[in-house]
């Protein structure tokens, strides 16, 4: 994510301040996919690969990363990119809109959004879901592992959502896709979903618990060929379409975003005049 943030920052470093427009938004969406692929190549000590003008967006991203075209993997990545492109006023989108509201440029807004997405509470859930399922190891180990984790007050990643009080509709689409794309992952994940929802409802029946988009995203991104350390970059590569759309909406009828705050600290205390205070000792 640091590499991606730096790549996007460099894009705007040599340009004059411009009002964001649709052409810049399209270019930024392309640059993000190129940045993901280049970061992957760089992590392996390999030279970047130039994009091809005969490939679609997802296929080009994978071609620039791996040097080959696999239509099946491109389909999986494309589905992911579409499903996660936008999701309301989440933390990174709000960050992008705040920056845009100051009449700053598109690169600055996207760099700020990447900084927000880098935070694990926002952008790392698919990675954490994959880590969890790898630790579980097999369908037979799902229930004892999850029971022990909950006894230790640990979180089960991929369940619950701040907005949805029922099933995440994106998860409903990702579930059958992952079953097709990554059967080994799905064997553990589907058992994990069944057990996790049952245990969570047993322990906290008052809380709405359902599978969220990140749970099966992990398996689909792995099927597309991406290592888990690049899942958050894939998230950014998808969400940039939403970020830039929000920026364009913000600047169309712009008003600077200036949230109110309320002081809830201790009451002010009297301040003694300087002449009534003891002088500090001198050396």
Residues annotated as part of the active site: 161, 214
DSSP conformation letters of 153-176: T---TTB--SS-SS--HHHHHHHH
Comparing CA positions, the residue from 119, 222, 212 lying closest to residue 158 is 212
Say which residue the tokens 């099946």 belong to.
72
118 to 70, 200, 235, 243, 246: CA distances (angstroms): 29, 28, 10, 15, 19
Contact (Cβ atoms closer than 8 angstroms) between residue 34 and residue 62: no
Contact (Cβ atoms closer than 8 angstroms) between residue 36 and residue 233: yes
**SS3 assignment, position 211:** strand
CA dihedral sign of residues 86, 88, 93, 97: positive
Contact (Cβ atoms closer than 8 angstroms) between residue 38 and residue 7: yes
Structure token digits, residue 185: 């992952």
Gap between the Cα atoms of 143 and 67, Å rounded: 40
Structure token digits, residue 146: 């999850």
Give the relative orientation of helices 169-181 and 183-203 as an angle to the nearest 10 degrees: 140
> Cβ neighbours of residue 266 under 8 Å, at least 6 residues apart?
none
Structure token digits, residue 38: 């280049």
């Amino acid at each position: 994510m640091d590499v991606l943030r730096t790549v996007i920052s460099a894009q705007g470093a040599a340009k004059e301040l411009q009002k964001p427009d649709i052409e810049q938004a399209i270019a930024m969406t392309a640059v993000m996919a190129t940045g993901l692929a280049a970061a992957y190549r760089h992590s392996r000590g390999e030279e970047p690969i130039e994009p091809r003008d005969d490939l679609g967006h997802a296929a080009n991203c994978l071609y620039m990363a791996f040097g080959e075209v696999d239509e099946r993997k491109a389909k999986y990545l494309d589905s992911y990119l579409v499903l996660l492109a936008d999701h309301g006023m989440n933390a990174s989108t709000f960050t992008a809109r705040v920056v845009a509201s100051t009449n700053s440029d598109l690169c600055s807004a996207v760099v700020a959004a990447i900084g927000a997405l880098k935070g694990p509470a926002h952008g790392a859930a698919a990675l954490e879901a994959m880590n969890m399922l790898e630790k579980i190891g097999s369908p037979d180990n799902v229930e004892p592992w999850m029971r022990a984790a909950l006894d230790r007050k640990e979180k089960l990643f991929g369940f619950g959502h701040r907005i949805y009080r029922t099933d995440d509709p994106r998860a409903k689409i990702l579930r059958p896709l992952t079953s097709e794309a990554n059967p080994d992952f799905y064997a553990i994940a589907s058992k994990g979903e069944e057990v996790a929802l049952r245990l969570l409802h047993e322990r906290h029946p008052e809380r709405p618990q359902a599978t969220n988009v990140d749970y099966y995203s992990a398996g689909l991104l792995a099927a597309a060929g991406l290592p888990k350390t690049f899942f958050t970059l894939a998230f950014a590569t998808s969400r940039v379409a939403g970020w830039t759309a929000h920026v364009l909406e913000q600047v169309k009828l712009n008003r600077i975003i200036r949230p109110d705050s309320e002081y809830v600290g201790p009451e002010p205390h009297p301040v003694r005049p300087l002449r009534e205070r003891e002088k500090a000792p001198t050396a």
